[in-house]
Amino acid sequence: MTGTVRIGVAGLGTVGASLIELLARHETTITARAGQRLVVTAVSARDRSRDRGIDLSGMTWFDDARDLATAGNVDVVVELMGGSEGPARDLVTNALKNGRPVVTANKALLAEHGNELGVLAEEHGVALGYEAAVAGGIPIIKALKEGLAGNDIQRVYGILNGTCNFILSEMRSTGRDFADVLAEAQALGYAEADPTFDVEGIDAAHKLALLSAIAFGQQVDFSRVTVEGISTISPIDIAYADEFGFRLKLLGVAERIGDTVTERVHPFLVSLDDPISKVEGVNNAVVVEGDFVGRTVLEGPGAGGGATASAVASDLIDVATGRFSPVFGIPASALRARQDGGSDEPHGRFYISLKVEDRPGVIADLAAVLRDHAISIESLLQRGKPEGGTAPIVVICHDAPESRVLAALKQIEGMDCILQNPHMIRIKDL
């Protein structure tokens, strides 16, 4: 590269526009830090006529983003289109094959195809940066690959989706139900018209798969992440969580259990003593536990044009200075396949919400099922007067293997006193 790094940007949505603005506004500072000028010379987006509030004069426009991979005036490709297939995958693949560094915010692409893209980047000796793909402006990728590289990581977990955190925060502070708050999130631009990827935990699972690969030196395997979203969470659950001294959060958790690594995205009840319980709104937070460093907590904006553009710029500066490491921290050939089996399994405490007939003996019958599965009750709460012959009951279980709790709930579902299927939320003692 010469004294100028020529950048081709594919995707001119909120992040793309913010990146161009950032590079222009901070040109002097970035040049000093990168040792070269970073200049956007080519762009591509679906709608050429749209006013994005930025100056695109002097930039070559490509109707087909895939052409950036071979454009003569592009040294580095920035992919901000999204999607695990189609033009985004083609652009990144071809750019790497042509020996061009790539910076992307596309967590879905990397979660689905990160292993092969990592091999391509290493074969051609170029960077594949994706700091912006996980937790917005929080530099968690660099923290894992560089700052904490000397540690044996036991666990990495966190709030990885700002939309879900906003919804749960609003439900707690206002008492409104999920559908109402989701509509507000959509109106504010925090949630897409089709919010499935966010509220069903898929977006968080994509990000967790990437963090797990770096933390534990294993191949990315999104298909092995257990995923559960927040669409079944009710105001009652959140109110009971408060009463028991918890906050309800959607967390991604990757941790060593025996000889294996588990990766799970679930709603969790988190103790108020844990700093992550206090992260509200659209913010994200990631906790890393290493054997020497102990617990490290990083918190900040998890999305938005400015935060994500900041992360993209960080990767671009690394490219300009020649600072880059293997895509997932160690060479792709050294990444381990995820191991199955092992004698250990997930376990913990559990919150169980039940709606039952209001008649004598029901609680004793429920307790007997839990007893038969060797599950001990820590707390039991029946709040308020039963209405219409029904009674809401909440049970907190002591630590038990998750498989045993699920088996007990399956048996409880078949009891004639149960008016709707039990609702279980894991309690994470982090």
Catalytically active residues, by annotation: 207
CB 73 within 8 A of CB 60: yes
CB 42 within 8 A of CB 62: yes
Amino acid at the residue 410: K
CA 106 – CA 206 distance, rounded (Å): 10
How many separate helices (H) and strands (E) can be counted in the chain? 13, 16
- Token couple for 33: 């830090």
CA distances from 116 to 161, 219, 409 (A): 26, 10, 41
- Token couple for 426: 């894991």
CA 327 – CA 97 distance, rounded (Å): 15
Written as one string, the DSSP assignment of 52-112 is -SS--TTPEE-SSGGGGGT-TT-SEEEE-S--SSHHHHHHHHHHHHTT--EEE--HHHHHH
CA 281 – CA 90 distance, rounded (Å): 35
CA 276 – CA 289 distance, rounded (Å): 14
> Computed from CA positions of residues 53, 58, 63, 66, in that sequence, does the dihedral angle turn out positive or negative?
negative
**76-79 vs 226-227, strand pairing mode:** unpaired
